[in-house]
Amino acid sequence: MKKIRMTFTLAMLIFTVTALGQTTTSAVPPSTPQTQTPPPSIASTVDREISGVEQQVVDAAEAMPEDKFNFSPESLNIPGADYKGVRSFAVQVKHVAASNYFLWSHLTGDKLPEGLKDGNGPENLKSKADILKFLKDSFALGHKAAATLTTENMLQPPEDSKSPRLYLATFGVAHAYDHYGQMVEYLRMNGIVPPASRGKSD
C-alpha cells in the first residue's frame, strides 16, 4: 500500500512540475530575434582606434578657453626651459588636423582643404570655432579612410604613396596621440584639468 501511495505521489509531483513548466513556457512571450554584431574586421578595428583618439583630442581642444587658444609655454619664461619657437595650442590642434588630412587623403582620394600647405594648417584659420571644425572634419576623413581597408589591400600602398594603407591609417592615430600629450601639458599649464582626467585623480 505504501508503494502504491509513493508511486502515486511521485506521479502527481512529476505531473505538477511538468504542468508548471508548460504553463511558465507558454506565459513567456516568444523572444524577439536578436541582431548579431558583425565580427570585427580590419576596417572596424582601425575605425575604433580613430574614434578613441578623436574623442581625446577633440575634448582637449574644446576644453581650452578661446582667450588661451594661442597659448604657448614660451610665454611662461621658465628658467632652463627651451620652449622658443614651439607651436601654440591652436597650432598644435591645426597640426593634428593637417597631418590627418595628409595621411588619410591617400586612402580616400579626397583633395586637401584649401590653404593647407604644410603641417601647421591653413594660416587663415584663427578662431577656436574654425579650428575645431577643421579638426573634426579631419577625423571624419579618418573614418572614411578606415572604411576602405580590407585584408586584401591593407598591405598595398595607394597609387600616390609608398607606404602601405594600414600604416597610413594607423600612423594617423599614433601621431594624434603624440600631440594629444602635448595638448594635455598646455592645458595643465593653464590650470585646466584635461577632460579625460576629470573625476579620477583630480
Span 184-195, mean pLDDT? 96
Q: What is the model's pLDDT at position 144?
A: 98
Span 10-17, mean pLDDT? 38
Q: How many CB atoms lie within 10 A of CB 144?
A: 16
Distance of alpha carbon 68 from alpha carbon 86, whole angstroms? 15
Q: Tell me which CATH homologous superfamily contains domain 42-193.
A: dinb family like domain (1.20.120.450)
Q: What is the pTM of this model?
A: 0.79
What are the extents of the domains in the chain?
Answer: 42-193
Long-range CB contacts (within 8 A, 24+) of 190-193:
190/64, 190/68, 190/71, 192/63, 192/64, 192/65
Please, what's the b/e burial string for 157-170 (b: 16 or more CB within 10 A of its CB; e: otherwise)?
A: ebeeeeeebbbbbb
Q: Tens of pLDDT along 123-180?
A: 999 999 999 999 999 999 999 999 999 999 999 999 999 999 999 999 999 999 999 9
